[in-house]
Amino acid sequence: MPVPKVFTASDPGTFKLKALKWADSFNEVCYFDSNSHSDPYSAFDVFIAAGAKKKISLTAGNAFGMLDDFLAENEGFIPGYFAYDLKNELEDLQSSNPDHLGFPDLYFFIPENTILIKGAEVHIYNTDPDETWGIINKMHVPEPVAPEPIKVLSRFTKSEYEQTVSEIQAHIQRGNIYEMNLCQEFYAEGADIEPVSTFIRLNKISPTPFSSFLKIDHHYIISATPERFLNRRGEKLISQPIKGTSARHDDELQDSAQKEKLQTDEKERAENVMIVDLVRNDLTKSAKPGTVKVEELFGLYSFKQVHQLISTVVCERKEGLTNTQIIANTFPMGSMTGAPKISAMILAEAYERSKRGVYSGAVGYFGPDGDFDFNVVIRTLLYNKRDKYLSFHTGGAITIDSDPVKEYQECLLKARAIMEVLKQ
């Protein structure tokens, strides 16, 4: 990994937008933005990768094994994603629901250009950092342009979704599962959007700690996710599942009351505990014996659109495991499946009406020092520009105490920021 050249940005906020515009001239782009959220486990504020020296694009089968070889043969920052349907090579599972987006199941690349921003410091890794610095600073800040209103449809009607929740609760009553994450796809055909502009608008409406923009030729991931899947810092592994959501209020007293209600809600706390137990079990596969612990339970975090209950589960890495093996041991994130995990995924496949694909997978990077950081792909717009097909999923944890009407309302709450960006 070459030593970067370090520059100082007089206005880091403006510089990152110019750098995003510059990066978009390449066929492969990864842009990660923490939006200044305080996080002891993040390594930078903004990460930008543009252009691919090498890339790996795979479907489920032996994708984790081939990625292991790819990582062993290459160094530096390696960004990309894992799609949810990689579950099929980890367990005896299948994905037979329709796929209208056509993303690969796994994609990573070795960047031609890497830019890290931490505070006002800008680290540029490429063959001519001075030229890149000069080009970016001469660019104009991209102006986010509102699209023409897009007609968004759902694979479920309200009554169909509520009926499905009731059917899943019948499985819970029979003891087949304890909890299941049921997702529905919202979509638009013939959609013509400008991806960078759409991301900037979404990031302004809903700035979150793990916001991301990925471009792979004609495929785009435009994300405002608040959730971390898995992070490695030295020998420490960190997972931060989210379970528990409530809306924000403009009125300060109402907003404060909503926070207190969320933090004391027995149903929301029960959901969080079930997923924490599942994540603890997943991490045990990669942990030194006796090191798995809950660092924070029911942490209350407020974002622009919602309040969330986030817990933090950590462990020390077991010797002899590669990063790919660690991720495979915990994939996909328990907050997006349910418990027991395999039974929940089988039922999700039976009741959902479209392939999840990248949704509820993970986007992030592997670092040159052996560390990595991946989010959970939620609150995310997926776009196939060639086919003009636009898609986003929302969902929630179904338990025996779930109210089907409220579960549907929660789906709409989670869709609010994207709907606003699309002018719904």
Q: What is the CATH number of the domain that holds 112?
A: 3.60.120.10
Which one, of 175, 157, 33, 55, lies nearest residue 107 by Cα? 55
Per-residue pLDDT of the chain (424 residues; tens, 9 = 90+): 778 999 999 999 999 999 999 999 999 999 999 999 988 899 999 999 999 999 999 999 999 999 999 999 999 999 999 999 999 999 999 999 999 999 999 999 999 999 999 999 999 999 999 999 999 999 999 887 777 889 999 999 999 999 999 999 999 999 999 999 999 999 999 999 999 999 999 999 999 999 999 999 999 999 999 999 999 999 999 999 998 888 898 888 898 999 989 989 888 898 899 899 999 999 999 999 999 999 999 999 888 888 999 999 999 999 999 999 999 999 999 999 999 999 999 999 999 999 999 999 999 999 999 999 999 999 999 999 999 999 999 999 999 999 999 999 999 999 999 999 998 5
User: Based on the structure, what is the number of domains in the chain?
Assistant: 1
Buried b (16+ CB within 10 A) or exposed e, 136-154: beeeeebebeebeebebeb
Residue with tokens 């959609």: 191
| Count of Cβ atoms closer than 10 Å to residue 269 Cβ | 17
| Count of Cβ atoms closer than 10 Å to residue 200 Cβ | 22
DSSP symbol at 180: E
Which one, of 33, 14, 404, 382, lies nearest residue 218 by Cα? 382
What is the span of the domain harbouring residue 219? 5-138+146-421
